[in-house]
Chain A
């Protein structure tokens, strides 16, 4: 089994959509807890439905990731860099999944009604408990900081690939090589992986 050169278009669409949503979410979260102005209320009103949207999207994204093989990292990348790439991607997936669930669980433990709008309520997923609330609320905050730092690293690494190494990594998540390349043209919508002439066999898609 060999890997395609670029990410599937659906994977790319999900990546960039969620990049915007997750960054928005992190800024909303850190902003709403540090203001006493009316922003506190409307940011809070966005934070909860947006969190559930991200939860649904990341479930879809995991399915897309499992269904469509991602491109392999360039073979000439140092082992440590490859490890950092794989580890940070696992961490990003874990945080995308965990943060909405922790937020939901935290509100449940705090005894709050989990309102996504003025009348749309999600059920509690934990019993009311101040001890659970405190742990989950702390986890939500510090994992958010970890999330943001990981995204900063991810962004820096992506730009490093784009500007310094100038390898396939950056276009594999952006344009997906639409220009005529030396391989036979294949529509990107195809479900089976495109022809693998250019890349060496994948070691591990991560």
Chain B
């Protein structure tokens, strides 16, 4: 054992310095690899969000997808019917406060409501024990793709052509041709006109989850919120009105709270939990677990929902995520979008500031 009195130069100094250099370099390279710095082809949350941002343009302070929306508040009243399957207190016969947000897809917060048939609802349930249930749903029974990689390819394939402002049909068509799983969603989009009201739409969680009961038993489920309001037939927005959804919601809530039933579908053995493009057969047991009551709305600019990341993997005890590969990707990408817009809100150095004025032209 050498001690402090040994001042003679070490034998093989070059070899010794090499050992030190290799040790430090190997550790640094391992870190760089894990961080993705050596693998630029890796699909990262940053890349998914950057690609969305490229498609829509940058709107500082806004979400990178579903940028246009309106904040709502209300409560969920459980009826106990789902408590046999999940220990989450939200399903008991009790009221749980809810903050939510209706939105339409895309990164442009000034997009016309009629430009897409898709409507979305994000909800955050504040449970009495401090836990939360967050869910972000859209009004289709199936999602367009089943994997994060396919979603990113779809984003790139439908990038607006700078010359026309519209996606290149050949490029988009090639993507859909090579992704037959998109057929169910495309069929829905073809037959569903943009709805005239957020209040008359149903909202489907798309991804499967597991409810966990008191015995620790897991039950694969999908849930959706089915509206009580059914007056859509005949109603329709004026052709030149781009913001009718929030106006309609304001008018309805001025007189009546709007209600949805939480319908929970239980999987049968063999039903896929990892593929959001596939519906489960219609005969599966479905439970009415309670009623969502939305009582008020507020513009999103400065209302509580603005600062909520509706990450669908934030769940209370009694609900866990399934093996659906979209769920971790949603969590990771939403977190990156949240960081980008809060950075802009905080006016951090090197980012666009959130108070950038609304663009003059569309």
Q: A30's closest neighbor in chain B, by CB?
A: B35
Question: Can you give 18 A-B contacts (C-beta < 8 A)?
Answer: A33-B45, A41-B313, A112-B132, A113-B130, A118-B315, A130-B306, A130-B307, A133-B346, A134-B343, A134-B348, A135-B348, A138-B343, A159-B23, A159-B24, A164-B13, A166-B6, A167-B3, A177-B1
Within 8 A of B (CB), among A82-110: 110
Number of B residues, CB within 8 Å of A: 60
**Complex CA distance for A30 and B28, rounded to whole angstroms:** 12
- Interface residue A201 (Cβ < 8 Å from any Cβ of B): no
Q: How many residue pairs, one in A and one in B, have C-beta atoms under 8 Å apart?
A: 150
Looking at A7-15, A46-54, A148-156, A188-196, the stretch in contact with chain B turns out to be A148-156
Given A110-B309, A134-B343, A163-B20: A121 and B321 interface contact (C-beta under 8 Å) = no
Interface segment, one of B177-185, B224-232, B234-242, B325-333: B325-333
Q: Which residue of A lies closest to B343 (CB)?
A: A134
Tell me, yes or no, whether B345 is within 8 Å of chain A by CB. yes
On whether the beta carbons of B325 and A38 are closer than 8 Å, the reply is yes
One digit per residue, 1 when the CB lies within 8 angstroms of any chain B CB and 0 when it does not, for chain A 151-175 equals: 0100110011001101110010001
Within 8 A of A (CB), among B129-169: 129-132, 148
1/0 per position for B113-139, CB-CB distance to A under 8 A? 000000000000000011110000000
Interface string of A126-145 (1 = CB under 8 A from B): 00111111110110000000
- Name the distance in Å between A201's Cβ and chain B's nearest Cβ: 14
Given contacts A35-B42, A168-B3, contact A155 B24 (CB under 8 A): yes
The yes or no answer to A63 lying at the interface (CB within 8 A) is no
The answer to whether A115 touches B131, judged by C-beta atoms less than 8 angstroms apart, is yes
Question: Which interface class (under 10, 10 to 19, 20 to 34, 35 or more) fits A?
Answer: 35 or more
Asked if A26 lies at the interface with its beta carbon under 8 angstroms from chain B, I say: yes
Residues in A1-55 with C-beta less than 8 Å from chain B: 26-27, 30-41, 44
User: Mask for B327-362, Cβ within 8 A of A = 1, else 0?
Assistant: 111011101101101110110100000000000000
B270, CB-defined interface residue at 8 Å: no
A95 to chain B: closest CB distance in Å? 15
Given contacts A111-B308, A134-B339, A156-B24, contact A168 B4 (CB under 8 A): yes
CB distance from B152 to the nearest CB of A (A): 9
Contacts of B313 in A (CB 8 A): 41
- A118–B313 Cα distance when bound, in Å, is 11
Determine the residue in chain A with the shortest Cβ distance to B151: A36
* Interface contact A36-B44, CB-CB below 8 Å: yes
A119 CA / B322 CA spacing, docked (Å): 18
Q: Does A118 contact B35, Cβ atoms closer than 8 Å? A: no
Q: Is B48's CB within 8 Å of the partner chain A?
A: yes
Q: Give per-residue flags for A169-206: 1 if the beta carbon is below 8 A from chain B beta carbons, else 0.
A: 00100010101010000000000000000110000000
Q: Closest A residue to B313 by CB, please name it.
A: A41
Contacts of A179 in B (CB 8 A): 1
Decide: A74 near B4, CB < 8 A? Known: A33-B45, A36-B328, A163-B10: yes
With a cutoff of 8 Å between Cβ atoms, the chain A residues found around residue B306 in the complex are 130
Q: How far is the CA of A111 from the CA of B48 in the complex (A)?
A: 24
Taking CB atoms, residues of chain B closer than 8 Å to A160 are 20
Closest beta carbon of chain A to B33's beta carbon, Å: 9
> Which residue of the partner chain B has the closest CB to A128?
B307
Q: How far is the CB of A24 from chain B (nearest CB, A)?
A: 11
Docked pose: A97 CA to B13 CA in angstroms: 37
Given A35-B42, A40-B328, A166-B10, A121:B129 Cβ within 8 A: yes
